[in-house]
């Protein structure tokens, strides 16, 4: 219709009725001179054909020009439209939003730089020192947790003592050495509180020093070690650093970008690594070089590089919020690290700020979680729940005397099946369910006792950690 309107004009007023309209040009042309002869006659006869060819060429050129113009205009508008011009076309809005998302991704490096600049001053190194025998060879990394058993002592071959001649009595000499180290971060600037892992400060006889990013050192006191989680809180007198902002670890998504900061290898302080959340709600068994182990539930898996010395350091989201405490690594894998969700530490932090120690709810039993394999090997009719059992030592009773469990009559070999209707499984353990409550709360237990199920109401006790 567009070309038809341009090149098929309506009938001019000066044409009389019955006369045929012809395409005319707007510009005025001189009248052609009359020619004679065969060549000119032929040219005259071919003139209508030539005119038609010329017109066709012009139409094609103009059509191509218009087509090229609109294509070019669309291309430019598609990639150069500003936000104020978006109301006229939904496709432009869609393209702008895509560009905006791409810009956000491109700006991630800048965001990481700003977050590191903000958080790094609040991250501290924790140095563990202790008086040890001068002829001993302490491992400066013996307090770092793994989720797999440690190498055997003779992995690199038997240790051959030096030949020092006839055996002579030696006098034991003591000297103070660094025997471990880790990372922590400030959670209260007013009280000088630092959060870290319990395994970093597990030695009751050691001394602890906090070193800031600018090299200042302060003596630290362990306020509390959490009995149910790998969390500890230190107090540092004279420490004047800003506290970090704690996020909500329940909102984590797999694939989300995270940043880890820590004292890598006990030597490279405030080392920064970046990765993603590789998994959530993991369950691992973390152990140290001395055979101590602990079950860590509901932990975050990340591929942000976590090395020796990173224990206790913050795992941070792109909002600059701490969402985890870096805790363990899998030495058989590559870039497989684990962090305790910060929500698990919030209650301990609040407790220490209010009472000066960690308060936890408890019922007072030792147990193992039942699964299908345990049920089959022990001819149990039930393949879930918490079986109350003794510990490996004779002093480790199945039910703690005077505990809430003891008061309601729970005994060894009872199986706790449910808590307030929540089934106890390997993914949702008894300890995890109890820790979602407060001391003094009353909960209902479904218990399998001597071949029968029964309901027991129990009031959770208050456990005060050191």
The residue from 202, 249, 278, 311 that is catalytic is 311
CB 323 within 8 A of CB 248: yes
* DSSP 3-state of 50: helix
The residue from 199, 278, 351, 403 that is catalytic is 199
Distance CA 230, CA 242 (A): 24
The answer to whether residue 437 is catalytic is no
Smallest CA-to-CA distance from 404 within 457, 363, 456 is with: 363
Q: Which residues contact 325 (CB under 8 A, 6 or more apart)?
A: 195, 196, 197, 230, 231, 312, 313, 314, 315, 339, 340, 342, 345
Distances (CA, A) of 158 to 152, 153, 154, 394: 11, 8, 5, 34
The answer to whether residue 311 is catalytic is yes
* DSSP 3-state of 413: coil
Beta bridge partners of 452: 449
Residue spans of beta strands (DSSP E) within 99-242: 123-133, 174-188, 193-196, 207-211, 217-225, 232-236
The residue from 226, 230, 288, 298 that is catalytic is 230
Q: Which residues contact 263 (CB under 8 A, 6 or more apart)?
A: 125, 126, 181, 182, 183, 269, 270, 271, 309, 310, 313
Distance CA 210, CA 222 (A): 11
The answer to whether residue 351 is catalytic is no
Phi-psi region of 380 (alpha: psi -120 to 50; beta: other; left: phi over 0): beta
CB 201 within 8 A of CB 130: no
Distance CA 461, CA 404 (A): 6
Residues recognised as catalytic? 199, 230, 311
């Amino acid at each position: 219709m567009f070309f038809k309107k341009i090149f098929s004009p309506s009938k001019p007023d000066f044409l009389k009725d019955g006369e045929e309209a012809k395409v005319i040009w707007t510009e005025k042309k001189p009248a052609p001179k009359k020619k004679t002869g065969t060549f000119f006659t032929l040219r005259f006869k071919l003139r209508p054909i030539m005119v038609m060819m010329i017109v066709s060429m012009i139409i094609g050129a103009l059509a191509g020009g218009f087509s090229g113009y609109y294509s070019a205009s669309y291309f430019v508008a598609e990639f150069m439209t500003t936000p104020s011009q978006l109301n006229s076309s939904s496709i432009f809005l869609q393209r702008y939003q895509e560009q905006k998302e791409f810009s956000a991704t491109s700006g991630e490096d800048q965001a990481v730089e700003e977050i590191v600049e903000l958080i790094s001053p609040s991250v501290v190194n924790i140095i563990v020192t202790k008086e040890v025998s001068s002829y001993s060879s302490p491992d400066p990394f013996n307090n770092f947790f793994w989720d797999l058993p440690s190498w055997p002592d003779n992995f690199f071959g038997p240790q051959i003592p030096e030949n020092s001649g006839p055996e002579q009595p030696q006098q034991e000499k003591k000297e103070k050495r660094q025997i471990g180290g880790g990372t922590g971060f400030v959670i209260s600037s007013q009280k000088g509180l630092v959060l870290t892992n319990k395994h970093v400060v597990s030695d009751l006889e050691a001394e602890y020093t906090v070193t800031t990013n600018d090299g200042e050192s302060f003596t630290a006191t362990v306020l509390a070690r959490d009995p149910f989680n790998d969390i500890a809180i230190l107090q540092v007198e004279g420490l004047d650093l800003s506290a970090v902002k704690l996020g909500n670890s329940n909102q984590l998504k797999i694939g989300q970008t995270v940043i880890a900061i820590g004292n890598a290898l006990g030597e490279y302080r405030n080392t920064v690594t970046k990765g993603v959340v590789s998994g959530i709600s993991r369950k691992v068994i973390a152990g140290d070089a001395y055979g101590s182990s602990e079950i860590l539930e509901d932990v975050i898996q990340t591929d942000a590089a976590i090395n020796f010395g990173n224990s206790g350091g913050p795992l941070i989201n792109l909002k600059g919020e701490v969402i985890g405490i870096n805790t363990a690594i899998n030495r058989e894998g590559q870039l497989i690290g684990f962090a305790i969700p910060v929500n698990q530490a919030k209650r301990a932090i609040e407790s220490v700020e209010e009472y000066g120690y960690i308060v936890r709810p408890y019922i007072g039993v030792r147990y193992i979680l039942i699964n299908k394999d345990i049920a089959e090997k022990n001819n149990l009719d039930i393949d879930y729940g918490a079986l109350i059992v003794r510990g490996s030592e004779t002093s480790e009773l199945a039910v703690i005397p005077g505990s809430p469990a003891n008061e309601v009559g729970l005994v060894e070999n009872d199986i706790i099946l449910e808590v307030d209707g929540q089934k106890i499984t390997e993914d949702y353990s008894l300890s995890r369910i109890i820790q979602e409550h407060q001391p003094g709360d009353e909960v209902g237990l479904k218990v399998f006792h001597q071949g029968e199920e029964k309901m027991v109401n129990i009031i959770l006790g208050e456990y005060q950690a050191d």
